[in-house]
Structure formats: structure tokens, C-alpha cells
Structure 1
Amino acid sequence: MATEPVILMYHSVEPYTEDPYRVTVRPERFERQLRWLRRRGLRGVSMRELRAAPDPRGLVGLTFDDGYADFVARVVPALRRYGFTATVYVVTGELGNHNAWDAAGPRKPLMTADDVRRVADAGIEVGSHSLTHPRLTTVDDAALQDEIGASRIALQELVRGPVDGFCYPYGAVGGREVAMVSAAGYAYACAVGARSIDGPHALPRTYIGDRDSSPRLHAKWIRHGLRNRKVGAR
């Protein structure tokens, strides 16, 4: 089996004093992480570009969950400095609000509808992160249909184009969720951590946080290679 490309999972990039969920990376750390990729001849790209590449070697998927407002203010300018792109997954029904699902964490503003249009027009891939950010494995079928299917319809109207990607809140995914994401017309979906379900609708990703210095990034890179050798041996 060919080696699976690396997909990195980010959330928020901004200065902070507390972050109980470890979803925030300081801007200076993020800059160093991007520089680490470039020094190794790697280029960060959107999932759309990664999946379309005939040969993904040298490419790294950059994904950002939740659609925080700092994606526009801090992430996009940093990506441009390095010639990188990315995919941002937004909570379609919460645009312009804040991260109410992180009850014990600091309030973080989310991208507005205008923000989403602007980044899409600038060539950033926008995907769905559901309507309201529930743990999808705990909702009934009717609610699941809205969270997955209705969010795609609304987002396509907003960006005036196709929405190919979905991202499972909390990484909560099982066979029912994969089947519904596929039926809703998504070409792929991102999960969290190592692969537990095969196929393009539960792609594994590597979490990146503020503690990930160059040595930790290197260790995660090695771990990815080892994991792929095990996958290839099945």
C-alpha cells in the first residue's frame, strides 16, 4: 500500500493565557511550525489539492477545525507568506457566534458568513464541520441528516460553489455517520487520530498543538511513517 499523506489538524491560532482543551497555537509557534515544513521541502495544501495531486509526496494537508475568526486574521496571512493553502471546516449554523461547545474554555469568536465568503473567494477550501457541533454518534437519524446534509446545502449556497469535505466534531464517527456523509454527497471526510474505518470518509489526521516544537514535530512525522508501514502490512 502507498504511504498515506500526512494531514495535520489545527484549530485556533492566537495569543492566549488559558486553553484547557489545547486547541490554540500561539502565532509565533505556528510560524515556526510552517517554517519547519518548508525547511524539509514540504508544502502545506488544502485537502482538495492534496486529494487531486497525482503524486502527493512533498505535500501536507493543513486543516483547521471550528472556523475561528483568527483563521482570517492570523492563519491566512501566515499561509500566504509561505505559499501554502489550507482547508477550514466551519460550523455552518454558528457563523458569527462563538464556541459554545467548549463550556469550560475561553470564548472564541467564529468566522462570520462574510469571512467564509472572503476566504473561499481567495482560494481557501471551506468544508462543513456540521450545523451545531454535536457529537454525531449521540444524535438521532433526523438530527444527523441536518447536521451533515443540511449543513452542506447551506454552505454551498454561501460559498457559491461545491463543498466536498466534511469534518466530524470531536472525531466521533462510526459506520452510520460515514454512510450518511457519503450519501450527502461529500467526496471525503476527516476524522481524528489513526485510521479506525477504511475509506475516504474517515481520513486520519495528526493533532498539532502549541507544545509541538521541532523535535515533537519530527517525532510525529516518524510515528506517521511507522503507522503507514503497519497499515501496508495488513
Structure 2
Amino acid sequence: MLVSESQLLRAWRTVAFVGHFSRVESLSSRGTNKILAYHSVGGGFHDDIDPDRLRRDIAYLDRHYELVDLPAVRRPSDEKRVALIFEDGYRDFAENVVPVLREYDVPATVFVIADAIGDPSFTHNDRFEYEYMDREDLLALLDEDLVTIGNHTRTHPKLAEVPPDRLEREIVGAKRRLERVLGVEVDRFSYPYNSCTDRAAAVVRESHDIGVAGRGRREHISAETNPEVIPQVNGANPFWEVRWDLSDAGTFVGSLADRLVGRAV
């Protein structure tokens, strides 16, 4: 019987609910480093969460994990590591996220859409009236020791749907434009919509040090993880679900489910 994506998601959330509230998630807390991804924080855009929710999230994470810069999730440590990323480069990052990062002294990577810089009319879809950080906002971030700017393509397409002859423009062209505008090296990449193909990953591997994609429930992040396709967890989900997705138990159940159903949950 063919199982739909929505059915898989409902099943996963049922497992997460039971796993969290039964305290199974607390049985182990070592070995499964994670990347926690957010989008809008108080801006009203995609996956928006309240700034107070972000503050509570980081306060909890700071107590229970080692919060590290993105490359460190692939390095061995005695503590479980979590890295924070923020995608799309909304203006609310500068307004609402940076103060919380400073408060807890936590590093983060913000992934920026290159064509949104200097073009007030740009929008990567018609779901919201997006407000992106402009050149001045991004240049100000360069003075923030806790923040690293990454590449989120030129126009935010699903890379699996981009013709091969456009992949270089979307990935490498965006990197070059960001580096030209900001005057710094940009070596981190995030796949829009978590859409990744072998061809896209090959372009990222040749042009960036790190690429982030996927739901992040199913595999341990370690030195053996492919650096061009490191999995992530959605931080905008209910926090009980986030805690389950971060847990060793959640990773184990997710990988087992993958093997049973033949695809990612």
C-alpha cells in the first residue's frame, strides 16, 4: 500500500508525541549532534515563531546541549552538539534573532537569497509580503562575531526542478554575488525547500565547505556525515516535537522507520 507524505508526517508526529510525553526521549542524550533550522522570528513569514519562543528554545538548548557554530557539529565532543541556522534572510533576523544570540552568546548561520539584496520587489514566492535584509543590514552583521552569512541560492528554487545548465548560476552565481557585495568568503550553503539532487550536491561540494538539507531525524551527524548534505531539524515545529527530533531515541526510531517504509519520514 502506498503511503502518502501527509500520512507519514501524521504517523511521525504521533510517535513524537508518545516518545516525548512518555519520557523515552530522555533515556539517552549522547551521540546525535543536530542542526536546528528556523525561518521567520516575529516577522509573520514562513514558519514564523514568536521571539519569546526562540528565547525559550535557546534557554532550554543552552542548558542541555553544547550550542556550537555549524562546522562543529561534525567534530567529536564529549557533549551532544546543536548548531542553529536561520534560512531566507528575513529582516526579522537582524531585529529579533541577533539580540537573543547575544544574550546567550550563541553562534548561528543565516542563509541569504542573493537576488533579494538590493531589489525591494524581489519575492521567492507569493505566499507572503516578504521583507529581506538589505545590503546595509548584512554588512552590519559582519561585525557580529556570533553570526555567519551563508548562501541560499540566487532565487530560492527547488533545485531538483532546476535544469542542469542553471545549477551553477543558482549555487555558484549566488555565492559569487554575495562575496562581491559583502567582501567576505561565503562557504556555507542551504538547499531551498530541502530540495537536493546528486548533481546539485556535487556543485555544492565543489564550491562550498558545508551544505545543509533534509529533515535531520534519521542519521547521526559526525565526521563521517557528507559535508555537502548535512541533515537538519525544523525548529518551528511544536517544541515537544523538536525535543523528540533532537533526541537519540527520535533518531533511532526515524532511521528504523526509513528502513521499514523504504523512504524518509
Match of 1:139 in 2: 162
Using a 3 Å threshold, how does the CA distance of structure 1 residues 64 and 15 change in structure 2: closer, same or farther?
closer
Which amino acid counterpart does residue 79 of structure 1 have in structure 2? L
Match of 2:113 in 1: 91
1:66 Cα deviation (Å)?
A: 0.3
Asked whether the 8 Å contact 2:153–2:171 carries over to 1, the reply is yes
1:79 to 91, 98, 101: 101
Q: Distance in 2 between matches of 1:15 and 1:157?
A: 28
Q: Distance in 2 between matches of 1:152 and 1:128?
A: 6
Which amino acid counterpart does residue 135 of structure 2 have in structure 1? A
Which amino acid counterpart does residue 27 of structure 1 have in structure 2? P
Structure 1: where are the runs of 5+ without partners?
none
Match of 1:14 in 2: 42
Q: Alpha-carbon deviations, 1:202-226, whole Å to 9, x = none?
A: 11000011x523x333322225442
Using a 3 Å threshold, how does the CA distance of structure 1 residues 136 and 35 change in structure 2: closer, same or farther?
same
Q: Distance in 1 between matches of 2:41 and 2:139?
A: 20
Asked whether the 8 Å contact 1:99–1:107 carries over to 2, the reply is no
1:165 Cα deviation (Å)?
A: 0.7
2:131 to 99, 109, 121: 109
Match of 2:244 in 1: 219
Q: Distance in 1 between matches of 2:155 and 2:114?
A: 7
Using a 3 Å threshold, how does the CA distance of structure 1 residues 63 and 98 change in structure 2: closer, same or farther?
farther
Provide the secondary structure at the position in 1 that maps to 2:231. coil
CA RMSD of aligned residues (A): 2.7
Using a 3 Å threshold, how does the CA distance of structure 1 residues 48 and 59 change in structure 2: closer, same or farther?
same
Asked whether the 8 Å contact 1:3–1:228 carries over to 2, the reply is no
Q: Alpha-carbon deviations, 1:102-154, whole Å to 9, x = none?
A: 323x3120011111121123121111000011111112223211111111111
Provide the secondary structure at the position in 2 that maps to 1:64. strand
Using a 3 Å threshold, how does the CA distance of structure 1 residues 99 and 48 change in structure 2: closer, same or farther?
farther
Asked whether the 8 Å contact 1:91–1:132 carries over to 2, the reply is yes
Q: Distance in 2 between matches of 1:218 and 1:107?
A: 31
Q: Distance in 2 between matches of 1:159 and 1:58?
A: 33
- Displaced runs of 4+ in structure 1, greater than 6 A? none
Q: Distance in 2 between matches of 1:31 and 1:165?
A: 25
Q: TM-score, normalised by structure 2?
A: 0.74
Q: Alpha-carbon deviations, 1:152-178, whole Å to 9, x = none?
A: 111122332221111111111010101
Q: Distance in 1 between matches of 2:201 and 2:211?
A: 8
Structure 2: where are the runs of 5+ without partners?
1-29, 220-224, 257-265
Using a 3 Å threshold, how does the CA distance of structure 1 residues 227 and 125 change in structure 2: closer, same or farther?
farther
Q: Distance in 1 between matches of 2:107 and 2:170?
A: 26
Which amino acid counterpart does residue 98 of structure 2 have in structure 1? V
Between the aligned residues of both structures, percent identity stands at: 28
Provide the secondary structure at the position in 2 that maps to 1:62. strand
Using a 3 Å threshold, how does the CA distance of structure 1 residues 49 and 221 change in structure 2: closer, same or farther?
closer
Q: Alpha-carbon deviations, 1:19-56, whole Å to 9, x = none?
A: 6x5x111111111111111222x2433314545x5537
Number of aligned pairs? 220
1:26 to 44, 50, 59: 50
1:15 Cα deviation (Å)?
A: 5.8
Matching of residues 197-208 of structure 1 within 5 Å: 199-208=226-235
Match of 1:69 in 2: 91
Asked whether the 8 Å contact 1:8–1:205 carries over to 2, the reply is yes
Using a 3 Å threshold, how does the CA distance of structure 1 residues 229 and 100 change in structure 2: closer, same or farther?
closer
Match of 2:196 in 1: 173
Q: TM-score, normalised by structure 1?
A: 0.83
Using a 3 Å threshold, how does the CA distance of structure 1 residues 98 and 199 change in structure 2: closer, same or farther?
farther
Match of 2:10 in 1: none
Q: Distance in 1 between matches of 2:32 and 2:124?
A: 31
Asked whether the 8 Å contact 2:31–2:80 carries over to 1, the reply is no
